[in-house]
Amino acid sequence: MKACAAILLAGLLVGCAPAARVVLQADADGKVGRIEVRTQRGSQVMTQADPVSEVASATAAPRPPKAISPQEIASVWGQALAVRPRPPKTFNLYFHTGTADLTDESRTSLPAILAAAKDWQHPWIAVSGHADSVGGVEINTRISRQRAEAVREALVKTGVPATAIAVDFHGKGNPLVPTRDGVPEPRNRRVSVTIR
Amino acid sequence: MVISCLCRAALAVAVALLVPGAATADEIGRVKTVRAAFVERGGATMALAENASIELNDLLSTGPDGALGAVFADGSTMSMGPRSRLVIDEFVFDPDHDRLSMVTRAMAGTFAFASGLIGKLAPRNVVVNTPVSTIGIRGTSFLVQVEEQ
């Protein structure tokens, strides 16, 4: 920053490195989001993959996004990208209404979860129980918990280490498919298993 | 009788495990990949190992040859290259009550982020601050570089 200011004072604007820069990239699934870079002086929005936005200082507006080459990305961020963790993997298991009994189809996907967990370095597995919105809060909380426990037990039986699994439950909260209260929705009678 | 006793003990264990992150209530993430990386927590600095817990307000840093890859409870990931420093100022992941936010402070170095559930459910609440700018993210992957001040 100080060196930069000195160069500015000398009138040598060229070669003054940006203090911060941001590159927007596509997600693992190919989707590109949106990034807004703000300083005290203004903001820039990026909505396309692989432009860079640079900021020279807190009192300068961000520069308009410009192209950045894959070579430059590799030379600046190569080491950070090399240790980027793999994207977490989520499996959804479904249940018969009002019970902690897995549907037959979901039962058959348990081995795939075990295979993924075995393939994962230090798997950190979140097992989250859910219910649909039929019935009261209390009963749905209980069912979502029983479902999560049932899945944990089933996973441990197939060989997933119990210590790698953390269980939580949400009742009718955080539905996969939002519905009005009291609507039966098979896709919300679920336990999500996320391997991170 | 003996069986009932064992059952009770097993139940107690099961209940203890049920509370999210019971053993480490403050755990918000885990270290996946590490090379010469450190955490400053509560005034003490420790070397990080693979699978170590990450907590709110941790200052994560890497040495001249260091690198660190971490995953957070919402499934977002953050990795950093050498000579990097980052603080996790805010991490709230409570989808049931719509309480979702993640605010990090990239102080120096190079970073690669990929958004998770917080970014998906509450896209306005994911922010990376740098010494000179505020970066608002709406569900995407992105790279950040911050020059040492």
Residue pointed to by tokens 């309480």: B99
In this model, does residue B131 exceed pLDDT 70?
A: yes
Q: How far apart are CA A113 and CA A126, in angstroms?
A: 12
The helix (H) or strand (E) run that includes residue A33 is none
Q: What are the tens digits of pLDDT across the range B45-92? A: 999 999 999 999 999 999 999 999 999 999 999 999 999 999 999 999
Specify the DSSP class assigned to residue A100.
S
Q: Give the mean pLDDT of A57-77.
A: 93
In this model, does residue B1 exceed pLDDT 60?
A: no
The CB density around residue B83, as the number of other CB atoms within 10 Å, is 16
Q: Give the mean pLDDT of B118-129.
A: 92
Q: Does B25 reach chain A within 8 Å, measured CB to CB?
A: no
**Best to test chain A binding among B143, B144, B148, B149 (most A CBs inside 10 Å):** B143
Q: What is the pLDDT of residue A80?
A: 98
Question: Same structural domain for residues A53 and A137?
Answer: no
Question: Same structural domain for residues A12 and A35?
Answer: yes
Q: What is the pLDDT of residue B25?
A: 60
Q: Give the mean pLDDT of A53-77.
A: 93
Domain-ending residue, one of A24, A52, A82? A82
Q: What is the pLDDT of residue A50?
A: 75
**Best to test chain A binding among B84, B133, B140 (most A CBs inside 10 Å):** B133
**Which residues constitute the domain of residue A110?**
89-195
Instruction: Choose the weakest-confidence range: A2-11, B31-40, B116-125.
Output: A2-11
* Residue A143 in tokens: 């069912």
In this model, does residue B21 exceed pLDDT 60?
A: no
pLDDT confidence of A127, banded at 50, 70, 90?
A: very high
Q: How far apart are CA A54 and CA A67, in angstroms?
A: 11
Alpha helices in chain A, H assignment, sequence order: 2-9, 70-82, 104-108, 110-119, 137-158
Q: Kindly report the CATH number assigned to the domain that includes residue A186.
A: 3.30.1330.60
Question: Same structural domain for residues A97 and A177?
Answer: yes
Domain-ending residue, one of A35, A55, A82? A82
Question: Same structural domain for residues A120 and A72?
Answer: no
CA gyration radius, chain A:
24
First to last CA, chain B: 68
Q: What are the tens digits of pLDDT across the range B54-64? A: 999 999 999 99
Q: What are the tens digits of pLDDT across the range A140-179? A: 999 999 999 999 999 999 889 898 999 999 998 888 899 9
Q: Do A84 and B114 touch (CB under 8 A)?
A: yes
Q: Say if residues A81 and A51 touch (Cβ distance below 8 Å).
A: no
Question: Same structural domain for residues A103 and A188?
Answer: yes
CA gyration radius, chain B:
18
Q: Do B132 and A57 touch (CB under 8 A)?
A: yes
In this model, does residue B22 exceed pLDDT 70?
A: no
3-state SS string over A119-147?
Answer: HCCCCCEEEEECCCCCCCHHHHHHHHHHH
Residue A57 distance to chain B (closest CA, Å): 5
> Which chain A residues are closer than 8 Å to B95 by Cβ?
170, 173-174
Q: What is the pLDDT of residue A16?
A: 57
Single-letter residue type at A11: G
Question: Same structural domain for residues A167 and A130?
Answer: yes
Q: What is the pLDDT of residue B19?
A: 35
Q: How far apart are CA A131 and CA A90, in angstroms?
A: 17
State the total domains in chain A: 2
Q: What is the pLDDT of residue B121?
A: 87
